[in-house]
Amino acid sequence: MFVNIVALSFNNQKQKNSLPKHKIVVTGNLLRQELFNPKKSKIGDQLTKIKPKIIFITAGNQGSHTINLLIKNILPQLQDFFIIHQTGKTDFNIFKKLTQKYSNYQVFDYIEANDIGHIFNKSELIISRSGANTSQEIAVLNKKSILIPLKVSQQNEQLLNALWVKEKLPQNTEIIEEKDLNSINLLNTINNLISIKIKNNIIKETSNPKFLRLIHEII
């Protein structure tokens, strides 16, 4: 192996055993700066005025048609919350029409970086796929989450990411695999998690500074 340092996102013992011990540094992923220093934005101003608890639904930039349809089915039962839903471009126009019917529902095809920090920090609950970045962002912000791992992912990585979040935040995290995913299960899980009281969100120091120092040293 010709590299001097191998930076790992997760403290995965199996992965560590396959690499030279003296070259391993567990850094975590680089997280978006906006999560910790939200910039002024129109959405941020709007969120400060919202009284109900906020639920944020996302499945990455492309969205998830499966998750989108389930949210549509249970919207009538979510009147006590304010719903922010990132649908992706494919479903956006269909779901945009629902904002005329539900005053507590706001939909986006894509959320800009300037807005994501406000949304993550203000949300009481995040419903999401479990990509590596989103999983670590949820963990570092100590957020309640319902994670729905992508059924087909490389080496089942999304399920492993979700299990990692569950290990870090056992009381705040529920995992629903696609084989168990339905409207009733999702709604019950939302209500159960929302009712749990957690401590104030404390942004913990992460391994990311190691990653930055490592990059600076290499450069």
> Residue 140 and residue 172: Cα distance in Å, rounded?
12
Q: Are residues 100 and 10 in the same domain?
A: no
Q: Are residues 46 and 95 in the same domain?
A: yes
Whether residue 202 is contained in a domain is answered as: no
The CATH number linked to 182 is 3.40.50.2000
Q: Are residues 81 and 126 in the same domain?
A: yes
pLDDT tens-digit map of 120-131: 999 999 999 999
Whether residue 24 is contained in a domain is answered as: yes
Q: Are residues 23 and 38 in the same domain?
A: no
pLDDT tens-digit map of 63-120: 899 999 999 999 999 999 999 999 999 999 999 999 999 999 999 999 988 899 999 9
pTM score, whole prediction: 0.83
Of the two residues 187 and 23, the one the predictor is more confident about is 187
**Which residues form the domain of 15?**
6-31+208-218
b vs e for 50-59, b when ≥16 Cβ sit within 10 Å of the residue's Cβ?
eeeebbbbbb
CB of 25 within 8 A of CB of 8? yes
Number of domains in the chain: 2
The pLDDT confidence band at residue 208, using thresholds 50, 70 and 90, is low
